[in-house]
Amino acid sequence: MVPVRKPAGEEVQVTIASIQAERFDLCKPIGTELRGVQLSRLTSGEIQEVKDLVAERGVLFFRDQEMTLAEQVEVGRQLGELHTHPAASAPEGFPEVLVIHTDEKSRRTAGEGWHSDVSCDERPPALSMLRIETTPPVGGDTVFASMYTAYESLSEPFQQFLQQLSAVHSGAIYHDLYRGRTGDRQFPESVHPVVRTHPGSGKKALYVNSGFTRRIVGLSAQESSALLKLLFDHIAYLVKGQVRFHWEPNSVALWDNRCVQHHASWDYFPETRHGYRVTTLGERPFL
C-alpha cells in the first residue's frame, strides 16, 4: 500500500502491486512521480508494473537514480527490445544509447519542439527513458503532453473523421538536425493512422506531431496543411493535458511515445545539460 497525493493534498492509500514507493500524481491526466524507487534494482515483475503504469499515466518521473550507463541499458532491455536511433552518435560500446548534450557550442538542443520520438519509423519507439546527469542552474525543463487527452477533448464527429485518416511521417528532418553526421543516408518514411490504439491500455490517442508528420494521405495540400496546423495547435495549447518536469542531477523520465509527446525547453544557453536516453522498439501503429 502506498500513499497517493491528490491535487488538493489529501493522501489516500492505494496498491501498486509489489512496488513500494510514494506515488504523486502531478496532474489528473498525465504525469506521476514515484519516490523511493531504484529502477536498476527492480525485478522483472516490478518492471512490468512500471510499464503498466506508464501506459496509464503517460510519463513517470524518478529522482536520485544513480546508475552506470551499462545499468541504464540493462533497465532498458528489461523494458523491451532496444531501438537504435537512425542518426545518433552513440558512446563506444553502447550503440543503443542516444547522448543528450547541449552547451555553449550547440546550435540546437535535442527534443526542442513538440514530437513523439522517431515516429517516422515503420515500428516507432514505445518507451523512452532519459536520465540527465548534468543540469543547468535554471531552466532545461521538459514538458509532456497526453495524446489521450488531446484525442478525448475533440468532438465526437471530429474524432470519427480523424479515425478514417492516415498521415506520412518523414525522417528527412535528420539531414538538417545532424548535418555532417548523416552523409547521404536515407531516412525512414512511414504511413501511420492519425488516431492509434495503445496496445496496453486499449485507449485511443492522437498520433500526429510537428516534428515528423508531413501530410495527411488523400487530402489536398491545402486541406492537409490546414488540418495538421489545427491538430498541432490543439496539442501545443491544450494546457490541461500537459505536465512540466524540472530536472535535477540523476533524475529519470520514462515516457510512452504511443500516447505522449514532449518538448524540451532550451532556455539555459550557454549552460550545459547532459544525459543519456535509451528507447524501446514499439509495434506498428494501429487503430
Catalytic amino acids?
A: 115, 117, 262, 277
As beta bridge partners, residue 23 has: 4, 34
Q: Which amino acid is at 240?
A: K
Cell numbers that stand for 39 in this block:
529502477
| Phi, psi values for residue 41, rounded to 5° | -110, 5
Q: How many CB atoms lie within 10 A of CB 70?
A: 12
Question: What is the Cα–Cα distance from 15 to 28, expressed in whole angstroms?
Answer: 18
Centroid of chain to Cα 141:
14
Three-class DSSP labels, the chain: CEEEECCCCCEEEECCCCCCCEEEECCCCCCEEEECCCHHHCCHHHHHHHHHHHHHHCEEEECCCCCCHHHHHHHHHHHCCECCCCCCCCCCCCCCCEEEEECCCCCCCCCCCCECCCCCCCCCEEEEEEEEEECCCCCCCEEEEEHHHHHHCCCHHHHHHHCCCEEEEECCHHHHHCCCCCCCCCCCEEEEECEEECCCCCCEEECCCCCCEEEECCCCHHHHHHHHHHHHHHHHHCHHHEEEECCCCCEEEEEECCCEEEEECCCCCCCCEEEEEEEEECCCCCC
